């Protein structure tokens, strides 16, 4: 029996999966399936995982045009809905890619994702990165776009106005940000007519971003955590020698042992109990990840132990989005608390 078949045999009642309530009152499943194949998992494999994951109980899928698989996922969604799962039971996110920030491109790009996914509306549409800097898929870490720009708030707000228009048009139910920082988000909150419903950010036990996490929550924004288990399959370009792995941390290993579960499941439990929505990618272990959200919670002591192993280790540094040759990735993340000047 292959893993996909095994996964499918034992569904988890999706009514048992925890949910979160957004500022709008909408309910969103507290775990989603990531769909970025990290340049080595094919679109067909990801789409197959989406289809079987829905049969297993997933209702939330984190997509993006740049992942290059929305058409295949669209076919999977069609099959899912034909199987009897209603559109309104699903939560589908997509993202605007960096080369589509132009005022004439936002609505067209969203329409393209809708067409590829075979949907009439998205539950959530995110601005994938706050920079309009294009890089070709799979490019080297030293690659720079010749017309790369820093964060320019005025330009971001032009893009955001179009995101707001998408809500007015009924094409998307919520809009949100991704890969932001506190100072950038402060400006967006000041100027937005429709505030971001969620902020998608890297979050795992070795990168907990406590200050940013608190800021997001205090502003009524739901944190969605990417790379929740430390992205063991991430592309080579996203690896540096300093990177650490939460699933190899002795504290996580000990907790996993005492619960009789995989260290990845500990990361998922921690994420859900802390209050972020993890979106683990998986084509093999998605059932185990979903099951991690149901029952057998971590104790308060275990939660405190995990809070103490934060290493401030950002894995997705975003080097390809830098706008100057001699810059270090820290410039993208406003490390001193103010927006890095051009
Ligand atoms: N907004 C953004 O800019 C942004 C950036 C990065 C990622 N994302 C989103 O976040 C999602 C998740 O991030 P990610 O894929 O980088 O990292 P991740 O979810 O932390 O790690 C995925 C990897 O972990 C393995 N895995 C998953 N569950 C496992 C388990 N229970 N036991 C053992 N191995 C397990 C998967 O292998 P198998 O496939 O073999 O199970 C896969 O190789 C992406 O797919 C994407 O949707 C968004």
pLDDT in tens, the chain (342 residues): 455 555 556 899 888 999 999 999 999 999 999 999 988 999 999 999 999 999 999 999 999 999 999 999 999 999 999 999 999 999 999 999 999 999 999 999 999 999 999 999 999 999 999 999 877 766 777 777 777 899 999 999 999 999 999 999 999 999 999 999 999 999 999 999 999 999 999 999 999 999 999 999 999 999 999 999 999 999 888 899 999 999 999 999 999 999 999 999 999 999 999 999 999 999 999 999 999 999 999 999 999 999 999 999 999 999 889 998 888 999 999 999 999 998
Tokens representing 260 are 């009789």
Q: Whose CA is nearest to atom 35 of ligand 1?
A: 285
Question: pTM for the whole thing?
Answer: 0.96
Catalytic annotation on 151?
no
Q: Whose CA is nearest to atom 29 of ligand 1?
A: 285
DSSP element (H, E) containing 97: none
Atom of ligand 1 nearest to the CA of 178: 1
Dihedral, CA of residue 306, residue 248, residue 257 and residue 7, to nearest 10: 100
Q: 79 C-alpha to center of ligand 1: Å?
A: 24
- Quickly list H helices, 192-246: 210-218
Q: 329, 131 in Cβ contact below 8 A?
A: no
Q: 326 C-alpha to center of ligand 1: Å?
A: 30
65-86 pLDDT, tens digit per residue, is 999 999 999 999 999 999 999 9
Angle at 231 between CA 244 and CA 286, to 5 degrees: 135
Q: Residue 14's pLDDT is what?
A: 84
Under DSSP, the state recorded for 298 is: P
Q: Whose CA is nearest to atom 43 of ligand 1?
A: 233
Classify residue 304 as exposed, middle or buried by CB count within 10 Å of its CB (0-12, 13-18, 19+): exposed
285-342 pLDDT, tens digit per residue, is 999 999 999 999 999 999 999 999 999 999 999 988 999 888 899 999 999 999 999 8
Tokens representing 248 are 């190899």
Classify residue 49 as exposed, middle or buried by CB count within 10 Å of its CB (0-12, 13-18, 19+): buried
């Amino acid at each position: 029996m292959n893993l996909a078949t095994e996964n499918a045999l034992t569904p988890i009642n999706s009514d048992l999966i925890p949910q979160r309530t957004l500022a709008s009152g909408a309910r969103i499943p507290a775990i989603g399936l990531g769909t970025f194949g990290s340049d080595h998992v094919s679109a067909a494999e990801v789409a197959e995982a989406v289809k079987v994951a829905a049969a297993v109980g997933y209702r939330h899928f984190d997509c993006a045009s740049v992942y290059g698989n929305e058409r295949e996922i669209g076919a999977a969604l069609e099959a899912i809905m034909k199987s009897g799962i209603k559109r309104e039971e699903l939560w589908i996110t997509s993202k605007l890619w960096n080369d589509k920030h132009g005022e004439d491109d936002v609505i067209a790009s969203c329409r393209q994702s809708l067409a590829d996914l075979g949907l009439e509306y998205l539950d959530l549409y995110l601005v994938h990165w706050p920079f309009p800097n294009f890089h070709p898929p799979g490019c080297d870490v030293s690659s720079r776009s010749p017309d790369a720009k820093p964060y320019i708030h005025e330009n971001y707000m032009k893009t955001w106005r179009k995101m707001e228009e998408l809500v007015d048009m009924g094409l998307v139910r919520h809009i949100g940000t991704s890969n932001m920082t506190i100072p950038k988000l402060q400006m967006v909150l000041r100027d937005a007519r429709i505030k971001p419903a969620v902020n998608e950010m890297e979050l795992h036990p070795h990168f907990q971003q406590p200050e940013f996490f608190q800021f997001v929550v205090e502003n009524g924004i739901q944190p969605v955590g990417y790379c929740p288990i430390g992205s063991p399959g991430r592309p080579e370009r996203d690896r540096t020698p300093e990177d650490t792995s939460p699933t190899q941390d002795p504290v996580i290993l000990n907790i996993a042992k005492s619960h009789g579960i995989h260290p990845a499941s500990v990361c998922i439990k921690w994420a859900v109990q802390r209050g972020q929505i993890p979106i683990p990618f998986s084509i093999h272990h998605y059932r185990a990840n979903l099951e991690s959200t149901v029952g057998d919670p971590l104790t308060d002591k275990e939660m405190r132990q995990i809070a103490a192993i934060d290493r401030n280790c950002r894995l997705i540094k975003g080097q390809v989005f830098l706008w100057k040759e001699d810059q270090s990735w820290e410039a993208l993340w406003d490390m001193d608390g103010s927006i890095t000047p051009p």
